[in-house]
Structure 1
Amino acid sequence: MRASVATAQDLGMPAIYLHLLAELLNTIGVDERDLLLRVGLDPLRLNSTDLRVSQSQASEFVTRAIIESGEPGLGIMLARELKLPLHGALGTAVMSSRTLGEALDLMGRYLTLRAPHLKVSRRDAGQNAWFRVTCDMDLGPLQGFIMDSMLFGCVTMGTQLTGSTVPGSRVLRRGPEPTYFHRFRQMIPVPVEYGATEDALLIPLAALDMQIRFSDDQLAASSRAKCEEALKELTEDAGFACRVRRVIETSHPFPPKLARVAGTLFVSERTLKRRLQEEGASFQNLVDQVRLERAGELLKNTGMNLSQIADALGYADAANFTRAFKRWTGQSPSQYRTAALKPGAARQRPSMAAGL
């Protein structure tokens, strides 16, 4: 039996995908900012290739987006907007591969980095390679959206990589054709067959030898190493404290209340505290870690004054923020900003002077 959103291991979803979906909603007349805030997400934090959003918040946002837009074909629309650089190290690795087959194999190996609950398995039959897509989690009404985004996104990716539609390829979808699909059929450059026994992308074996336009052996090697490192880090950071931190990192308003985070993760406040304690963490320490990192970003990358930064971080005034920052780092915010902006200064995050 597959896990549900509430019980499955939560590796999070890249925030950049929700940012892209929010931009898409804006083009069709939906107030995407209001929708994000109602889900408890900070719109300004989503335009990042590094941050991840908890699975429960991502699912709630997508569900509300479909309902409030009245557009069940959002997954297909999103697939058309998925440019390869948005996929982080995996996108770079795929783009720098030598052949289409090599690129697709990489996608299958590292898909967890971008879509944790999807799996791609390949089998060769006759003259075709079948790339079957399955999900190890019960997504309920989101299943169609996820599969639309993934499979039609692969079609978009193939065109970006080779410069043309991959000849002879087609998409197989389980179940009957949805009523909305006829509005999008002409936008998809390959045949789509519903009523299949599996969700899959079919590509002629001969087409797997097609050359990638951006092939770069040196970049391919370095980006694959980054994928390996990121995959190891992601799977190792699967503890409860990491899940709590993800919610804190993208929350609005900031800092979030403990009750709000507990509700997002489908646990009681007492359970949240206990599970963090079991991992040697605390809610307040996680909030302070995120605060410190955000403070460093704002001091280095914006012209915001200390009062504005204090307000953004949830402090009553600049004096409280300054005391906290100095307690954490051993230097004042102004000293940190001056040092960080010096020519040749090393780019680094502020660190706790004595730990939390």
Structure 2
Amino acid sequence: MKTNSVTPGFSKAILHILPALNVNVDRDLVEQIQQFPSEGRLPMALQDALWQALIELKDNELGLKIALSLKPDSYDTLGFLLFSCATLGDAVDSLIAYSALIGEGGKFSKSHNELGWRVSFEAFFTTPTPIRIEAVLACVACGAKWISGAPIKPKVVAFTHPQQGKLSTYQAIFGDAKLLFSAPSNYLLYHNDDWQLQQRSVNQAVQQQMQSLAEQQLKQLQPQTMVDKINAILTKQPNLKRRQISSLLAISERHLNRKLADQGYSYKTLSDEIRKNLAEKLIKQGSANQAHLALYFGYADESAFAKAFRRWTGLGFKEYKQKIGNKDDIK
């Protein structure tokens, strides 16, 4: 029987900051959690026990206080991968793709509408609790600032539970975001501009290293098909070539081709499909022109991208934008 587990990093980070918050929990519980190596897995039951101990302290703002106290170096492999991403949008894609590394405690998803980008969290905790959910959303909000390198704030923050603490405590994290309580779902809504904002340099070598480590850890938890792995990589870094992807996956190009053939794919067919879907999504959002996409997908020039786009869709770039009714910024 499979035992649900989580990464130890988050629980250990919480234990590390509790003294500064004048919070004490049972020493035996602390020792049980600390005995698990950082590169291993922590039984979900122990993280549940930690949150139960915190809940019993009757501090309804504790989840928000914990999130405010955590720093970027409080997180493990997945955290470093997220903080190595160029934009909030890239980081959320990684969070969704590798969320199994965090554990079975919940599921992240994203969606887009005319108001912006929504990052949703569905809790799978045995007994979902307000301070635990607030800690998760607050950590995402704090992480968004670290990733973008700018003091971005969500436009809307929604919780499925009633208000727990003072409005000023929520505002310390979420700024002037509209707060919704007793909502149908837990989520943060970000402006389109903030989703792609990049105000700091990104070390691609570090990012690729973190991604490689995350891939290895994910493989140990739940082996993925080669199609799934390539889809996850190209969705985040569509400019990568087959050689670079093979290197990230620590296999030869020949082995990669053979694995894909076993699933009825060629690399060209799969990569074209992924890039086509990504290009269509970006065009429908209304913020991409042909020059931007050529650069984003790693083509030598606009002409090369234009030929690929026509091969994918059967239409020229301008024709495609007119077809979907988005005639702004056609270039």
2:148 aligned with 1:157: no
**1:95–1:212: 8 Å Cα contact kept in structure 2?**
no
What aligned pairs does 1:110-121 form with structure 2 within 5 A after superposition? 110-121=98-109
Give the whole-Å Cα distance in 2 for the aligned partners of 1:219 and 1:94: 11
2:35 aligned with 1:45: yes
- Aligned AA (2:220): E
Secondary structure of the structure 2 residue equivalent to 1:188: helix
Task: Map Cα deviations across residues 216-245 of structure 1 (whole Å, 9 max, x no partner).
Answer: 222222211211111111236xxxxxxxxx
1:173–1:83: structure 2 CA closer, same or farther, 3 Å change rule?
same
**1:25–1:65: 8 Å Cα contact kept in structure 2?**
no
Q: TM-score w.r.t. structure 2 length? A: 0.60
1:217–1:30: structure 2 CA closer, same or farther, 3 Å change rule?
closer
Q: CA deviation at 1:187?
A: 1.7
Which of 182, 187, 196 is matched with 1:209 structurally?
196
- Aligned AA (1:176): P
Give the whole-Å Cα distance in 1 for the aligned partners of 2:58 and 2:115: 41
Which of 134, 151, 155 is matched with 1:148 structurally?
134
Q: CA deviation at 1:29?
A: 3.5
Q: Which runs of 5+ in 2 are unaligned?
A: 224-331
Give the whole-Å Cα distance in 1 for the aligned partners of 2:66 and 2:201: 23
1:103–1:29: structure 2 CA closer, same or farther, 3 Å change rule?
closer
Secondary structure of the structure 1 residue equivalent to 2:211: helix
Which of 163, 187, 212 is matched with 2:172 structurally?
187
**2:119–2:188: 8 Å Cα contact kept in structure 1?**
yes
Task: Map Cα deviations across residues 193-226 of structure 1 (whole Å, 9 max, x no partner).
Answer: 2232210110112221111525122222221121
Give the whole-Å Cα distance in 1 for the aligned partners of 2:149 and 2:86: 14
1:115–1:95: structure 2 CA closer, same or farther, 3 Å change rule?
same
**2:6–2:42: 8 Å Cα contact kept in structure 1?**
yes
Q: Larger relative CO (CA 8 A, sep 6+): 1 or 2?
A: 1
Paired-residue identity, %: 16
**1:97–1:212: 8 Å Cα contact kept in structure 2?**
no
The number of residues matched between the two structures is 221
2:23 aligned with 1:36: no
Q: Which residue in the other structure is 1:174 paired with?
A: 160
Task: Map Cα deviations across residues 255-309 of structure 1 (whole Å, 9 max, x no partner).
Answer: xxxxxxxxxxxxxxxxxxxxxxxxxxxxxxxxxxxxxxxxxxxxxxxxxxxxxxx
Q: Which residue in the other structure is 1:234 paired with?
A: 221
Which of 6, 17, 22 is matched with 1:13 structurally?
6
Q: Which residue in the other structure is 2:326 paired with?
A: none
Q: CA deviation at 1:163?
A: 2.8
1:138–1:188: structure 2 CA closer, same or farther, 3 Å change rule?
closer
Secondary structure of the structure 2 residue equivalent to 1:215: coil
Which of 11, 15, 22 is matched with 1:22 structurally?
15
Give the whole-Å Cα distance in 1 for the aligned partners of 2:201 and 2:102: 21
Q: CA deviation at 1:23?
A: 3.2
2:62 aligned with 1:74: yes
Q: CA deviation at 1:76?
A: 1.2
**2:150–2:199: 8 Å Cα contact kept in structure 1?**
no
What's the Cα RMSD here?
2.5
Secondary structure of the structure 2 residue equivalent to 1:184: helix
1:44–1:228: structure 2 CA closer, same or farther, 3 Å change rule?
closer
Give the whole-Å Cα distance in 1 for the aligned partners of 2:105 and 2:40: 18
- Aligned AA (1:198): S
**1:128–1:202: 8 Å Cα contact kept in structure 2?**
yes
Give the whole-Å Cα distance in 2 for the aligned partners of 1:144 and 1:63: 12
1:41–1:215: structure 2 CA closer, same or farther, 3 Å change rule?
same
Give the whole-Å Cα distance in 1 for the aligned partners of 2:81 and 2:14: 24
Secondary structure of the structure 2 residue equivalent to 1:124: strand
**2:82–2:91: 8 Å Cα contact kept in structure 1?**
yes
Q: CA deviation at 1:172?
A: 1.2
Q: CA deviation at 1:82?
A: 3.0
Task: Map Cα deviations across residues 139-185 of structure 1 (whole Å, 9 max, x no partner).
Answer: 31x4323311211111110111223321553311123222x243623
Give the whole-Å Cα distance in 2 for the aligned partners of 1:127 and 1:30: 39
Q: CA deviation at 1:115?
A: 3.6
- Aligned AA (1:66): I
1:44–1:227: structure 2 CA closer, same or farther, 3 Å change rule?
closer
**2:17–2:70: 8 Å Cα contact kept in structure 1?**
no
Give the whole-Å Cα distance in 1 for the aligned partners of 2:95 and 2:111: 15
- Aligned AA (2:139): G
Give the whole-Å Cα distance in 2 for the aligned partners of 1:40 and 1:82: 18
- Aligned AA (1:91): G
Which of 30, 39, 54 is matched with 2:43 structurally?
54
Give the whole-Å Cα distance in 2 for the aligned partners of 1:167 and 1:13: 28
